[in-house]
Amino acid sequence: MRSGGERNLRRKGTIDSFRYASEGILHCFRTQKHMRFHFAALVLALFLGLVEALDTRDMLVLLFCISLVIATEMVNTAVEALVDMVTPSYHPAAKLAKDVAAGAVLVASINAAVAGILILGGGMRIQAMRQHATRYVPDVTLVLVVGILIVALLVVTSKLMTGRSNAGLLRGGVVSGHSALGFFLAVTIIFAAGNWFISLLALLMALLIAQSRVEAGVHTLREVALGALVAIVVSSAVYWLAPYVRSKVAARTLTAVVLTASGTGADTRNPSTHADRTRH
């Protein structure tokens, strides 16, 4: 029979395992410039997915491919640290281990690039955007999940870039994460509800969340305002900018298709024009 101390040790070990894992991710973000590029690519890919009205399956494929790149980059960092610890001097086996780990990152990156090109730039995707421009109803759940992920990434990135420690990511910082998430959810309710009373309640709840962070001394008024600004920018991009860009791209594509079809039809109706082109 285990004593209470052993049970507490096991419980603390489980909690600490998540903390150690998060510290590893944050260390890679701080020290590896490629990791910061991968996170930026993740945000950009998610936004482009909303612009092109990807369904849940395609969005998950994009998320999996970029997550695979991030995971292999972390493994590459761990291999480099381990090799440097074991063999401070040059050794052919150490070089081979680092090269293989870097090759894994390259393979995952090529896979993500190919998947992104096929999903975001395929010919059928332009046709789908043209159809969605007139009768597309966004999946609020998908947009909400992607938006929350983008807000969380931006808030954590802002704290890391300003030198925030790992322990201080959940408390304080240049941008209030609670305020950002609160206002983003409020804008989501405003977008989905279509009722002024419900929208007013959602906005008041977001203001109460922001006020609670200031009264608790966790954030200043400026940090709470920055969190609200991040939420407003992201929500505007997700709910209004993405559909606007999608409609503009679809309209230009449709115009180009119509002009091409008109030119082809004119050549077909006027055989002399085709004959003149053939002679020239």
Does a structural domain hold residue 80?
A: no
Which of 6, 23, 52, 73 is catalytic? The answer is 73
Counted residue by residue, the chain has a size of: 280
Among 156, 169, 142, 97, which Cα is nearest to 238's?
A: 142
**Confidence at 67, pLDDT banded by 50, 70, 90:** very high
Does a structural domain hold residue 106?
A: no
What is this structure's pTM?
0.71
Q: Where are the alpha helices (DSSP H) in the chain?
A: 4-31, 33-51, 56-86, 92-121, 123-135, 140-161, 177-193, 196-215, 221-236, 242-269, 271-279
pLDDT at 7: 52
Does a structural domain hold residue 255?
A: yes
Half-sphere exposure of 6 (CA within 13 A, CB side): 3
Range of the domain at 161: 138-264
Q: Is 263 left (phi over 0), alpha (psi -120 to 50) or beta?
A: alpha
pLDDT of residue 273 exceeding 80: no
Count up the domains in the chain and report the number. Answer: 1
Does a structural domain hold residue 73?
A: no
Does a structural domain hold residue 55?
A: no
pLDDT tens figures, 207-245? 999 999 898 888 889 989 999 999 999 888 888 887 777
Does a structural domain hold residue 143?
A: yes
Name the average pLDDT for the chain: 79
Spatial CB neighbours of 133, under 8 Å, sequence gap ≥ 6: 246, 247, 250, 251
Does a structural domain hold residue 118?
A: no
SS3 165: coil
Rounded distance, CA 225 to CA 233, Å?
12
80 annotated active-site: no
pLDDT tens figures, 177-209? 889 999 999 988 888 887 889 989 999 999 999
pLDDT tens figures, 16-63? 777 788 888 888 888 888 888 898 888 888 888 888 778 888 889 999
- The string of DSSP codes covering 123-153 is HHHHHHHHHHHHH----HHHHHHHHHHHHHH
Half-sphere exposure of 7 (CA within 13 A, CB side): 4
Does a structural domain hold residue 199?
A: yes
